[in-house]
Amino acid sequence: MRTSFTSMALVALAATLTACGGDKAASTPATDSAATAPADAAPTATPTDSAAPVASAAAYDPAKGQALYGRCMACHQQNGAGMPGAFPPLAESEWVNGPASRPIAILLHGLQGEITVKGTKYNSMMMAYGTGVPMSDDEIATVLTYVRSNFGNNTPAVTAAEVATVRAATAGRSTPMTQKDLEALQ
């Protein structure tokens, strides 16, 4: 039992460091340009649901979305299934497949407190995506489009304009989102 707890603690620590920008190799400049980091600067992941149709967006680059998702894998796993009891799944999640404003707000501000995903309650903390490494609207749109078109998800692409709208609407926020905050977003 102690070994299991120690292993879980190490996984949580690694996930926290990665989510908090500890994986500096995956960082990219905070601009809205279509420029990408060098191919060797971002982690890679193997798509887990390559048969899923990719949502369309004028500038969507699946390889860039996949590389950006590499920063999510420590918690949400390569297949988007999450970690039972710790981190919720992204695969077929109502929060991923619902209004785009909700996952956008989660990436911009993080998430804290209890949230129910696919009928299971989770109560952990997610830092804002890119903490310590600001992300552009294009990068957030790209990674969310990747998530919303993989892992059994088939939801429309997220645009940089949608991210900019949510960013502006929540600019004064200084705390992570809660389930109640997300439910208020349309």
pLDDT above 70: percentage of residues in the chain: 67
Question: Above 80 in pLDDT, residue 20?
Answer: no
Closest CA to 48 of 70, 75, 33, 29: 70
Domain boundaries, the chain: 2-184
Mean pLDDT of the chain: 77
Residues 125-182 have pLDDT tens digits of: 999 986 678 899 999 999 999 999 999 999 999 999 999 999 999 999 999 999 999 9
State both tokens at 126: 């997610």
Question: Above 60 in pLDDT, residue 25?
Answer: no
Q: Are 177 and 111 in contact (CB under 8 A)?
A: yes
Whole-number Å distance between alpha carbons of 63 and 60: 9
| Local structure of residue 18 (DSSP, 8 states) | I
State both tokens at 17: 């460091």
Question: Above 60 in pLDDT, residue 35?
Answer: no
**Using H for helix, E for strand and C for coil, what is the string for 19-72?**
HHHHCHHHCCCCCCCCCCCCHHHCCCCCCCCCCCCCCCCCCCCHHHHHHHHCCC
Query: What CATH number belongs to 2-184?
Result: 1.10.760.10
Q: Are 148 and 62 in contact (CB under 8 A)?
A: no
Question: Above 60 in pLDDT, residue 41?
Answer: no
Q: What is the pLDDT of residue 58?
A: 57
Q: What is the pLDDT of residue 42?
A: 32
Whole-number Å distance between alpha carbons of 2 and 170: 42
pLDDT above 90: percentage of residues in the chain: 61
